[in-house]
């Protein structure tokens, strides 16, 4: 496989990002194309893509907030997003199925963490399903507990990575 490049999203990446989103989430859970466009347009500094041979094969995106509770559905629409907020939130991490199990998701998360550190954020929050808790723990996240969110009809667990030394 050619070199994987992790870079900030560009507006023209919308269609490919949406394809990655729907490959990684159920129809009930996946963000709409309009929501992905909103995330690209509003907070591109919190949206990274993995590219190989000019093709987007993975992405991670999120927002910044002063909140410590990320169970609010409105935040996914960037209501409450504050670029100067003390915390970052990961909304979506996805890699096309044919490129999974190659460390690409890890590279994306590490780039997101690096961005948060550079911007002096305090914590990074995310929600994941039970089977992904150990994966995120391997990246330094702590399991906070069951989230109040029932997004897409699923049970979600909240994870937190403290960025304070």
Query: What's CA 68's distance to the chain center, in Å?
Result: 16
| pLDDT of 30 higher than 80 | yes
Residue 155 in domain = no
Residue 140 in domain = no
Task: List the domain range (segments joined by +) for residue 22.
Answer: 4-120
Q: What is the pLDDT of residue 25?
A: 87
Q: What is the pLDDT of residue 148?
A: 74
Residue 128 in domain = no
Residue 159 in domain = no
| pLDDT of 48 higher than 90 | yes
For the stretch 49-70, pLDDT in tens is: 999 999 999 999 999 999 887 7
Residue 148 in domain = no
Residue 89 in domain = yes
Q: Domain of 30: which CATH number?
A: 3.40.630.30
Residue 133 in domain = no
Cα–Cα distance measured from residue 39 to residue 153, given in angstroms and rounded to the nearest whole number: 23
Q: Looking at the 3D structure of the chain, how many domains does it have? A: 1
For the stretch 72-118, pLDDT in tens is: 656 666 777 888 999 999 989 999 999 999 999 999 999 999 999 99
User: Is residue 55 within 8 Å of 49, Cβ to Cβ?
Assistant: no
Cα–Cα distance measured from residue 152 to residue 67, given in angstroms and rounded to the nearest whole number: 22
Residue 100 in domain = yes
């Amino acid at each position: 496989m050619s070199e994987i490049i992790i870079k900030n999203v560009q507006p023209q990446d919308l269609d490919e990002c949406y394809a990655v989103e729907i490959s990684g989430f159920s129809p009930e859970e996946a963000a709409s194309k309009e929501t992905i466009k909103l995330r690209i347009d509003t907070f591109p500094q919190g949206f990274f893509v993995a590219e190989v041979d000019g093709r987007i094969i993975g992405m991670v995106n999120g927002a910044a907030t002063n909140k410590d509770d990320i169970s609010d559905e409105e935040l996914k629409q960037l209501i409450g997003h504050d670029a100067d907020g003390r915390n970052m939130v990961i909304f979506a991490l996805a890699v096309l199925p044919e490129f999974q199990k190659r460390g690409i998701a890890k590279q994306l998360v590490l780039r997101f963490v690096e961005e948060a550190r550079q911007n002096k954020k305090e914590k990074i929050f995310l929600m994941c399903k039970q089977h992904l808790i150990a994966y995120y723990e391997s990246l330094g996240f702590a399991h906070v507990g069951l989230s109040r969110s029932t997004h897409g009809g699923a049970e979600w667990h909240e994870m937190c990575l403290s960025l304070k030394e």
